[in-house]
Structure 1
Amino acid sequence: MSHPKEVGGYKLGSLIIEGKTKQVFDLPEHPKHCLLLNKDRITAGDGVKAHDLEGKAAISNQTNAKVFEILKSAGIHTAFEKLVSPTAFLSKKCDMVPIEWVTRRLATGSFLKRNPGVPEGFRFTPPKQETFFKDDANHDPQWSEEQIVSAKFKFNGLVIGQDEVDYMRKATILVFEILEKAWALRDCALIDMKIEFGVDLDGNIVLADVIDSDSWRLWPSGDKRLMVDKQVYRNLTTVTAADLDTVKRNFTWIKDQLDHLRPTIHHKVVVFMGSPADQEHCVKIAKAARDLGLDVDLRVTSAHKATEETLRIMQQYEDTHGALVFIAVAGRSNGLGPVLSGNTSYPVINCPPPSDKLVQDIWSSLSVPSGLGCATVLYPDSAALMAAQIIGLQDYLIWGRLRAKQLDMAAGLRKADSKLRSLQF
């Protein structure tokens, strides 16, 4: 079978691997990357059922790109780089871990067959996570975590041990919960989904392969009868041209809905400083907050010296933002935080600047009049994190960034511990 020589301006090298619905090509001019080319093909039952479906390659390619852009915005490490043509995308070159990671919110499908007695629709809280070894000949048997660890897979110098399995399990659930929150914006219930991981050339585990309408069950309004995913095709005993048109319409609908899954809330974190001398401290808060995806403004005003101006600025933000957090940076007698807190229903965080009288400054922030609810933290990172936790209640991307940061910190500690244990003292 002949293969294209060039796609989207990228000269193709050898065919690395070909699956049922895609081809993966080497890129000689970009040795750390590869190109994934989708096919106009739909399959089920490990390829036993298969049909050509004109236009599916482009639909899947766009669906995958939109999903991965959401996940990247939420801080998930992915192999996906960018679209390069209507049917192809650029990816980091990875060795794939031969495990399908499945997350379930509701019991349905194969889970019911493997777990008789569990009623359909049983809700898993937290989500149920399962693993399956990729082996078409044996219908992808379910594997335990112990089997994965015992297999001692090694990819690009990384041995898949318990630490790596722990990371992939937690990342799998996080990916599901991010997309679950995203689809909830369109009143669609994400029932379950499968993902795969790869190990890039630097030995890092990244979310890889493809996430499209073959990857999940999706029920609008939580109603199974309204399903719009690949299960519609799986359920067909005979497949007509009209049936394929229905499947294609469903997949197109999903692709188009993904354009509306970005958070619609207009948030803002406003850092008020009582003096220009506090600017360095406030810039640190702003940088930490922006690293978490927050939109930040810095303002200078004094609750003692310019009370009316301070309240006027505060009210301007109240009138134009749906999700809002004020951070007050003031030393000596901190009137800024309490004045803001006493005149707004939005949260206020005190973060006094460093000084040789920090103990007194902290006390002036903590000892507020009755009826006020402003919090106090000492460090810029802490102020940014607390603001992100508040905004994250309404913005799933900020919530996802916080969870991804926690996941990365835990992974970093495990790597440091592993390195320490390998040293000889």
Structure 2
Amino acid sequence: MSETPLQLPGYAHVYSGKVRDLYAPVGTDGQPREDQLLLVASDRMSAYDFVLDTPIPDKGAVLTQMSLWWFDQLADLVPHHVVSTDVPAAVAGRAVLVERLEMLPVECVARAYLTGGGLGEYRASGAVSGIELPAGLVDGSPLPEPIFTPSTKAPVGEHDEPIPYSGVVAEIGEDLASRVRDLTVRILQRGNEIATERGIILADTKVEFGMRGDEIVLADEVLTPDSSRFWPADEWQPGRQQPSFDKQYVRDWLTSPASGWDKTSGEAPPSLPEDVVAQTRAKYVEAYERLTGQTFRS
């Protein structure tokens, strides 16, 4: 995130997150508009709450183009925030002009399979986000039905923390909480209906919603390898960590002896070797091509 934001004529830089940069279109009065944002996906990679110093080539373009494809697949479930893909040439293919929304202050997560942080919660308590689950589940087990497991929306550099559904109700009210819970689960279900036909399992996903008056609008990215766990269906085997198309590959290298890094040290992770960068890019591109049936063009 230390990189200098691009200078884009006609746009004012607003904010840089872990992997995205936000710009506001400048109006005829020379002031940044308050109704729209240019959402630019960088090639930065984040892991374990650090932004790595090694970018993944074309990652921003893959995430942007995959999200656009998914927005179309989900259009009958929930409206999205995209206004236009007509963007400055310097960020073509990895940016979209979007509606500026009042974003909900919770991370909306749904899980169809048990793994990651949910597995840790389950092993400790037999439940995830307060939802009791059957005994005997292992890493990669399918859940009886997808569950809503929200978390806090932490500032950059801090970790999102799981919260029970009651915490979402306390934050945004019962009516809105039930609507975003149901929508999050339906998005994961629809994603799996489509992905399984293409040999991919969507284990879980995180989505973000904003408000357009009383209407819930899907924002940011959706069902990408950064926001979801993608597993090759033909290699799925409960009881172990699954092979993946997502950034788990980078996490695995960082926590392997090869990296020499201790994630509890508080020190920044090391640079990624060329082969890990190339493999990660290949996994992102393969996920895009298998899901959409389209050839990726950077």
TM-score category by the smaller chain? Answer: 0.7 to 0.9
Counterpart of 2:105 in structure 1 is 98
- 1:65 aligned to which of 68, 81, 88: 68
Residue 107 (structure 1) shift: 0.7
Counterpart of 1:319 in structure 2 is none
Residue 37 to residue 184, structure 1, CA distance change in 2 (3 Å)? same
Alignment partners' CA distance in 1, 2:152 and 2:5: 31
Q: Which has the higher contact order (CA 8 A, sep 6+)?
A: 2
Contact 2:78 2:216 in 1 (8 A): no
Counterpart of 2:176 in structure 1 is 164
Report the RMSD for the aligned CA atoms in angstroms: 2.1
- 2:248 aligned to which of 231, 249, 252: 231
Write the letter of the residue equivalent to 1:248: R
- 1:206 aligned to which of 217, 220, 245: 217
Query: So what's the TM-score if we normalise by structure 2?
Result: 0.76
Report 1:290-309 matches (<5 A): none
CA offsets 1:72-129 (integer angstroms, 9 cap, x no match) = 2x34211123423212111111122121111111111111111116422332122021
SS of corresponding position for 1:183: helix
Instruction: Give ranges in structure 2 of 5+ residues lacking alignment.
Output: 28-32, 87-91, 124-135, 237-241, 260-271
Percent of pairs with identical residues: 24
Residue 51 to residue 96, structure 1, CA distance change in 2 (3 Å)? farther
Residue 171 to residue 2, structure 1, CA distance change in 2 (3 Å)? closer
CA offsets 1:125-176 (integer angstroms, 9 cap, x no match) = 220210000115551111122223323xxxxxxxx21100000000001111
Say how many residue pairs are matched.
246
Larger helix share, 1 or 2: 1
Moved more, 49-58 or 96-105: 49-58
1:135 aligns with 2:134: no
Contact 1:63 1:254 in 2 (8 A): no
Counterpart of 1:258 in structure 2 is 291
Alignment partners' CA distance in 1, 2:101 and 2:160: 21
SS of corresponding position for 2:50: coil
1:76 aligns with 2:78: yes
Alignment partners' CA distance in 2, 1:259 and 1:2: 31
Alignment partners' CA distance in 2, 1:2 and 1:176: 33
Counterpart of 1:220 in structure 2 is 232
Write the letter of the residue equivalent to 2:230: L
1:26 aligns with 2:21: no
Instruction: Give ranges in structure 1 of 5+ residues lacking alignment.
Output: 152-159, 262-425
Write the letter of the residue equivalent to 1:27: P
Query: So what's the TM-score if we normalise by structure 1?
Result: 0.54
Residue 194 to residue 56, structure 1, CA distance change in 2 (3 Å)? same
Contact 1:63 1:213 in 2 (8 A): no
Larger radius of gyration: 1
Counterpart of 2:11 in structure 1 is 12
Contact 2:49 2:158 in 1 (8 A): no
Counterpart of 1:147 in structure 2 is 167
